[in-house]
Amino acid sequence: MNFTLRVWRQPNSRTPGRLESYPARNIDPNMSFLEMLDVVNEQLTLENREPIAFDHDCREGICGMCSLVIDGEAHGPEERVTSCQIYMRSFKDGATITVEPFRSKAFPILKDLIVDRSALDRIIQSGGFISVNTGQAPDANALPIGKDLAEQAFDVAHCIGCGACVAACKNASAMLFVSAKVTHLGLLPQGQPERDRRVRAMVSTMDAEHFGNCTNQYECEAVCPKGISAANIARLNRDYALASLKGMFTKKSESAGGG
Amino acid sequence: MTQLDAKIPSGPLAQKWDRHRAAIKLVSPTNKRKFEILVVGSGLAGASAAATLAEQGYSVKCFCFQDSPRRAHSIAAQGGINAAKNYQNDGDSIYRLFYDTIKGGDFRSREANVYRLAQVSVNIIDHCVAQGVPFAREYGGLLANRSFGGAQVSRTFYARGATGQQLLLGAYQALSRQIGLKQVQMIPRADMLELVLVDGQAKGIVVRDSVTGKISSHSGDAVVLATGGYGNVFNLSTYARGSNATAIWRAYKKGALFANPCFTQIHPTCIPVSGDYQSKLTLMSESLRNDGRCWVPKKAGDKRAADAIPEEERDYYLERLYPSYGNLAPRDISSRAAKRVCDEGRGVGPSGLGVYLDFSDALKRLGEATIRERYGNLFDIYHEITGENAYQAPMRIYPAIHYTMGGLWVDYNLMSNVPGLFVVGEANFSDHGANRLGASALMQGLADGYFVLPYTIGHYLAGSKKVKPSVESAEFRQAESETEARIARLLGIRGKRTVSDIHKQLGKILWENCGMARNRQGLQDALQKIPALREEFWGGVTVPGEGKDLNQSLEKALRVADFLELGELLCRDALAREESCGCHLREEYQTPEGECKRNDEEYAYAAAWQYAGETSAPVLCKEPLIYEELPMATRSYK
């Protein structure tokens, strides 16, 4: 198969970027999208031109590092997969394919297709955890947790933190990401003591990091490689409203970090 | 030659760890924050160590090459984590987990370390549940277990097919909490390129910021390497593309011993290679062998589709060869069995390098819904990659490089022979001997990081002189300038071959000569070819771009340059070990059935290699493996 790629090239965060065209020739339909980029990069290297920079690591859809917008869609044309799990058989021979980075004010471009998503880490650092030091835990079976509840918690805990939800949202909202962690920990009995301070701290960090608000377009859910439901955003809103209301009547520190 | 002292505590095996913990020195709470510890790597071992050390009050700096600590490749572990909880009431115990691990490792691991691992395994599960890890549960609300290879009890805890992800996110969240509290300074997108010794002690590292290309030094009171395994030396593997050996290799070149480099695990169930362009291989979890049956046609060259081959013309070779463990035979044994049937011309698929993993019996017995609940995401991954539906036709699988049991030599305290240099998780060598059992990598990573290192490092710090050297000192300056020179040299070659091309060639040499089966002639050939390839690399590779920039070609070149040296040590070690054990099958030393023939008289030792400079061969130092509790026995899974 042969393709024409239009790829976003940008030397660094200070210099404006633009789309440039590259041919991709003799591509096997069973190649992954990233392997196709590898082939193009090998060619560029041999021509002594700079290869296209893109983030990737596990190449099996779990690390969350790959982050391409392919033909306008975060993680490309297939549902419930990451960029690394897109295969060239999904494209028509001869097609022109546009490849761009995950765009958002909160994700500055570092180079070409690589963006800085550390804002998501800072949201977790502000409260996305259960404060338990190593060595304090009771026996794992001391507290039974219903199978359905454990499964529900897993469904949201499965978030890989790729940020596709942000890239797909016209408001660059991170609410699907935040709601996944708030729901995961909020469902479990171990997460209850910090539930209120967690949601308030995470939402306040999210706002400070320039993520937008949710206006119910559900683009996030559509591109999420792990199929996390936008219904969790409703749960996040409810948890946040309740926690804020309770906060009016009790004096609490805003940060969950104190543990 | 360095004399190795494993510092195994005296006393009965079951009491060693408790007695040791009671005897080792402590650092007082107010003094802890005065010590700065550098943790390199943020996978299960690194993140758990960094978080726990920070909880204890130490000042910690943690480094990772990815954009976030949550991306470390522990995240991709699928199947589960072992622990001797005996929740299933099937006769499990600490002793049995210890025994299975030693036996699985074919009596080439250190007994005292393995016993401790089995002891702390139970604490790991407790801690992870407290962190909110959503393990699989029964309807009654208690934790569920599944079986894994090399065990006859059900002791594996799991979270669907993403156990590694859930455990890593638990550790990542604990680490994030400490970052938020400013107890840990996290430095992502940083490649460790050099270890710095001051007066023979590990006191710092040199890193390259992969965004700006800036080279900088960091000094500390101790350095912890948690940088994972070196399987990418083979190029094609189940590792993440970025996984590399540079940190441990740089430490080796600074005097840390590298133990058992040839002990590399080949996982029996991966999706077969489909083309030359392939960048990585994808694992299909061992847990699938709970319900999947491995088979090939009885007749060589049988090209019929799987469903056209009647039952009596199929060879369920694992069940035939190893009736008591069947499809749950350990990884090394299952991989070799697959290779053997393919070598006989009975392999399936277009390349003939594949065997079937068939779920039709389980689907009939349990129904599609149950299979989907147990393995749904694995069947999905298989479908995404191959375009085939494993609910309808059997999967095709083939062995691939997956894990490395070898690594930097450490004593009982997880400290290398370089004082102040600790090595945890897959990066060290101690617990899995010549073969690791499934679901034991997660266990070891978290055992080291949560429950072992945080104690033992205190003993070292309490006994060391507290002098954190300035990064302006001569040792750091020299390490930086050597690193800059290495980078300049790579960028200056501007030859004709790409880094990936040379890496592929190295991988091919190793897979053919130091893979599932090894022999003297092949290893000697490889020892000729690798140095020649290395020369070709330094003379004719091309690395485009600049040093002071985000340059992924340069990152890769730095890693492959180290793999080209490590690959040689792998072959050297495999050649020197004139016996077969676990993953290491030397064709000259096998039973008539093709099983490993160990030589305990001469080779019951860990082979720890000491760097001796560019022009001399490394020196082999031996740590004898003494089994106080278990008699060394021939491993049998029949």
- DSSP H or E segment with residue A4: strand A3-9
Q: How many residues does chain B have?
A: 638
In this structure, is residue B289 part of a structural domain?
yes
Q: What is the pLDDT of residues B24-60, one digit of tens each?
A: 999 999 999 999 999 999 999 999 999 999 999 999 9
Non-local (6+) Cβ contacts of A204 within 8 A are A126, A254
At B381 the pLDDT is: 87
Q: Please state at what angle helix B111-131 crosses helix B163-180, rounded to 10 degrees.
A: 70
**pLDDT grade for B287, boundaries at 50, 70 and 90:** confident
For all residues of chain B together, what is the average pLDDT?
A: 96
Collect all residues of chain A within an 8 Å Cβ-Cβ radius of residue B552: 51, 53
Least confident of B285-289, B313-317, B482-486, B497-501: B285-289
pLDDT at residue B521 greater than cutoff 80 = yes
Distances (CA, A) of B220 to A200, B31, B185, B201: 36, 15, 13, 11
Portion 224-253 of A in contact with B at CB < 8 A: none
The percentage of residues in chain B with a pLDDT greater than 70, rounded to a whole number, is: 100
In this structure, is residue B219 part of a structural domain?
no
At B200 the pLDDT is: 95
Collect all residues of chain B within an 8 Å Cβ-Cβ radius of residue A53: 550, 552
At A258 the pLDDT is: 45
Same domain assignment for residues B486 and B376: no
Q: Where are the alpha helices (DSSP H) in B246-305?
A: 246-253
In this structure, is residue B275 part of a structural domain?
yes
Q: What is the pLDDT of residues B589-615, one digit of tens each?
A: 999 988 999 999 999 999 999 999 999
Q: What is the pLDDT of residues B85-107, one digit of tens each?
A: 999 999 999 999 999 999 999 99
* Nearest chain B residue to A27, by CA: B277
End-to-end alpha carbon distance in chain B: 41
Which is more confident, A219 or B386? Answer: A219
At A251 the pLDDT is: 65
Identify whether the C-beta of residue A13 lies closer than 8 Å to the C-beta of residue A109. Answer: yes
Structural domains of chain A, ranges and CATH numbers in brackets: 3-111 (3.10.20.30), 117-249 (1.10.1060.10)
Of B516, B385, B388, B381, nearest to B78 by C-alpha is B381
Beta carbons of B277 and A136 less than 8 Å apart: no
Portion 23-62 of A in contact with B at CB < 8 A: 28, 30-32, 34-35, 38-39, 42, 44-46, 48-51, 53, 55-62
Domain containing residue B346: CATH number: 3.90.700.10
Same domain assignment for residues B368 and B493: no
**pLDDT grade for B464, boundaries at 50, 70 and 90:** confident
pLDDT at residue A259 greater than cutoff 60 = no
At A254 the pLDDT is: 53
At A253 the pLDDT is: 56
Q: Please state at what angle helix B44-56 crosses helix B453-463, rounded to 10 degrees.
A: 60
The DSSP code sequence of A42-108 is: HHHHHTT-PPPP---SSSSSSS----EEETTEET-SSTT--GGG-BGGGS-TT-EEEEEEPP-TTS-
In this structure, is residue B560 part of a structural domain?
yes
Same domain assignment for residues B397 and B480: no
Beta carbons of A184 and B542 less than 8 Å apart: no
Same domain assignment for residues B374 and B485: no
Non-local (6+) Cβ contacts of A184 within 8 A are A153, A156, A157, A159, A191, B132, B134
At A103 the pLDDT is: 96
Distances (CA, A) of B322 to A153, B151, B361, B506: 39, 13, 19, 35
At B274 the pLDDT is: 84
Q: What is the pLDDT of residues B229-272, one digit of tens each?
A: 999 999 999 999 999 999 999 999 999 999 999 999 999 999 99
Report, as residue numbers or ranges, the catalytic residues of B: 331
Same domain assignment for residues B290 and B395: yes
Same domain assignment for residues B295 and B392: yes
Q: Into how many domains does chain B fold?
A: 2
Collect all residues of chain A within an 8 Å Cβ-Cβ radius of residue B274: 30
Identify whether the C-beta of residue B110 lies closer than 8 Å to the C-beta of residue B430. Answer: yes
- Among residues B381, B402, B423, the one where a domain terminates is B402
- Among residues B369, B402, B435, the one where a domain terminates is B402
Q: What is the pLDDT of residues A123-178, one digit of tens each?
A: 999 999 999 999 989 999 999 999 999 999 999 999 999 999 999 999 999 999 99
Collect all residues of chain B within an 8 Å Cβ-Cβ radius of residue A46: 496, 498, 542
Q: How many residues does chain A have?
A: 259
Identify whether the C-beta of residue B151 lies closer than 8 Å to the C-beta of residue B129. Answer: no
In this structure, is residue B307 part of a structural domain?
yes
pLDDT at residue A252 greater than cutoff 70 = no
Average pLDDT over residues B68-96: 96
pLDDT at residue B397 greater than cutoff 60 = yes
Q: What is the residue range of B306's domain?
A: 267-402
Q: Which of B280, B377, B448 to mutate to test the interface with A (most CBs of A within 10 A)?
A: B280
Average pLDDT over residues B68-91: 96
Does this model's pTM top 0.95? yes
Nearest Cβ partner for B75 among A32, A62, A117: A62
Same domain assignment for residues B365 and B274: yes
Same domain assignment for residues B392 and B483: no
Q: Please state at what angle helix B520-540 crosses helix B474-493, rounded to 10 degrees.
A: 90
Same domain assignment for residues B494 and B576: yes
If 0-12 CB within 10 Å is exposed, 13-18 middle and 19+ buried, where does residue B89 land?
A: exposed
The DSSP code sequence of B526-579 is: HHHHHHHHHHHHHHHEE--S-SSS--HHHHHHHHHHHHHHHHHHHHHHHHH--S
- The label of the residue with tokens 């009995």 reads A189
Nearest Cβ partner for B136 among A118, A150, A161: A150
Domain containing residue B488: CATH number: 1.20.58.100
Average pLDDT over residues B289-297: 95
Q: A252: distance to nearest CA of chain B, Å?
A: 17
At B83 the pLDDT is: 98
In this structure, is residue B114 part of a structural domain?
no
Which is more confident, B593 or B66? Answer: B66
Distances (CA, A) of B340 to B206, B236, B296, B324, B336: 46, 21, 11, 20, 6
In this structure, is residue B408 part of a structural domain?
no
In this structure, is residue B5 part of a structural domain?
no
**pLDDT grade for B291, boundaries at 50, 70 and 90:** very high
Of B330, B352, B329, nearest to B398 by C-alpha is B352
For all residues of chain A together, what is the average pLDDT?
A: 95
- Among residues B402, B417, B450, the one where a domain terminates is B402
At B265 the pLDDT is: 96
At B148 the pLDDT is: 87
